[in-house]
């Protein structure tokens, strides 16, 4: 009993509903729909939800948390059982699922014998989200928004010039960062600019798999040097600190086979790979993964003692240290830059 109570308490404290009111008055709520269902049903697993929740066709019907708060008693929130979207027929709020785990729709073979001809043909990821599309980025999102712009400048002043170059747009005051392929947007991340919430960003659904965020370079030498980081803002900070590389954000703490084939598609020949994750142990794991696939180019790690590339950049700015401190070396060997930890130490 106490255990159960504790669990509900836990849910109340972690369950988050992020409301965005769009310009046409529609309210979109971003939340983890699985958590919302479990909380509403007072159960711990989605299997239990299946046995206790009301259902109509392929939709669960639960009490909308907003309507509940306002005292409405009717249960009119319909949630698709694939946990993608929901709609409340009383308050008309639209619900959009937010989660870090995107379900891949096709399986890419686990092991590639090398980085060469045996790789399956790369298929560029495509948005297949019920609420968001690439056309919205192209035709509906704003080229400029005061709140969104201020958010970017608060992160760092380089955004003053960079936001346009990176194709950043705005959606109801939030920042939209496009993923480009040969300069063409095909996907985006929405970064929420208000509130101190746990829900900080949203990645729309995509098929066949989650791509990596890559800042495409024109220069052929830069295209052949890959610098792997965790998140989009890390990649942007890496662009400033490592201008001779192509920054690639894997959007998590591991690199998928799909993302490796995306890198390969971008650069026909990789001359060097550096990995700069927030934790050195994670970088090492990714390095091992890459070495099992690419055995002909140097793969090295930029050690981290905690801060991410954006924090390192800001700290170097404050300390008046050289900003573009990560440079390629001819004939670089593994461990060459292992003593470089970023803060306080100039590159040797």
What residues line the site for Zn ion (CB under 5 A)? Answer: 64, 66-67, 88, 90-91
CB of 124 to Zn ion, least distance (A): 38
Residue 66 vs 159, nearer CB to Zn ion: 66
> Quick one: 66 or 115, whose CB is closer to Zn ion?
66
- Rounded to a whole number of angstroms, the minimum distance from the CB of residue 31 to Zn ion is 13
Q: From start to end of 151-212, where are the E strands?
A: 169-171, 174-181, 184-191, 201-202, 206-207
Q: Which residue has the tokens 């259902």?
A: 55
* Token representation of residue 149: 């712009």
Residue 3 CB partners (closer than 8 Å, separation 6+): none
Residue 185 backbone phi and psi in degrees, to 5: -70, 135
Q: Which lies closer to Zn ion via its Cβ, residue 72 or residue 200?
A: 72
Which single residue is written with the structure tokens 């979207």? 85
323: nearest Cα among 333, 334, 314? 314
Which of 72/289 has CB closer to Zn ion? 72
- Shortest reach from residue 2's CB to Zn ion, in Å: 32
User: Considering the complex, what minimum distance in angstroms separates the CB of residue 165 from Zn ion?
Assistant: 41
In the bound state with Zn ion, the residue whose beta carbon lies nearer, of 36 and 287, is: 36
CB of 126 to Zn ion, least distance (A): 32
Q: For residues 200 and 197, what is the distance between their CA atoms, to the nearest angstrom?
A: 6
CA-CA distance, 246 to 264, in Å (whole number)? 12
């Amino acid at each position: 009993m106490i255990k159960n109570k504790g669990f509900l308490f836990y849910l109340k404290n972690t369950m988050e509903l992020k409301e965005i009111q769009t310009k046409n008055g529609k309210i979109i709520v971003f939340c983890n729909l699985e958590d919302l269902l479990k909380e509403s049903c007072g159960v711990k697993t989605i299997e239990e939800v299946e046995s206790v929740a009301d259902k109509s066709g392929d939709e669960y019907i639960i009490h909308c948390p907003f309507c509940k708060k306002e005292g409405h008693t009717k249960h009119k929130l319909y949630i698709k059982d694939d946990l993608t979207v929901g709609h409340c027929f009383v308050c008309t709020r639209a619900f959009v699922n937010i989660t870090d785990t995107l379900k891949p729709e096709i399986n890419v073979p686990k092991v590639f014998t090398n980085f060469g001809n045996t790789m399956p043909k790369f298929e560029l990821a495509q948005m297949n989200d019920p609420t968001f599309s690439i056309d919205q980025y192209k035709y509906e999102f704003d080229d400029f928004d005061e709140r969104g712009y201020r958010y970017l400048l608060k992160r760092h002043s380089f955004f003053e010039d960079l936001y346009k170059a990176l194709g950043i747009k705005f959606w109801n005051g939030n920042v939209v960062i496009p993923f480009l392929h040969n300069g063409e947007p095909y996907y985006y991340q929405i970064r929420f600019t208000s509130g101190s919430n746990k829900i900080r960003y949203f990645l729309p659904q995509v098929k066949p798999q989650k791509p990596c965020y890559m800042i495409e370079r024109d220069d052929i030498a830069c295209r052949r040097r890959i610098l792997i980081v965790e998140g989009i803002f890390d990649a942007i900070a890496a662009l400033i600190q490592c201008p001779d590389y192509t920054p690639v954000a894997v959007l998590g703490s591991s690199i998928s086979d799909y993302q490796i084939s995306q890198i390969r598609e971008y650069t026909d020949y990789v001359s060097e790979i550096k990995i700069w994750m927030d934790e050195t142990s994670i970088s090492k794991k990714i390095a091992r993964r890459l070495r099992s696939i690419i055995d002909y180019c140097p793969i090295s790690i930029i050690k981290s003692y905690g801060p991410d590339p954006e924090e390192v950049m800001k700290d170097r700015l404050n300390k008046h240290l050289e900003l573009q401190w990560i440079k390629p070396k001819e004939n670089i060997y593994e461990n060459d830059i292992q003593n470089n930890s970023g803060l306080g130490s100039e590159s040797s």
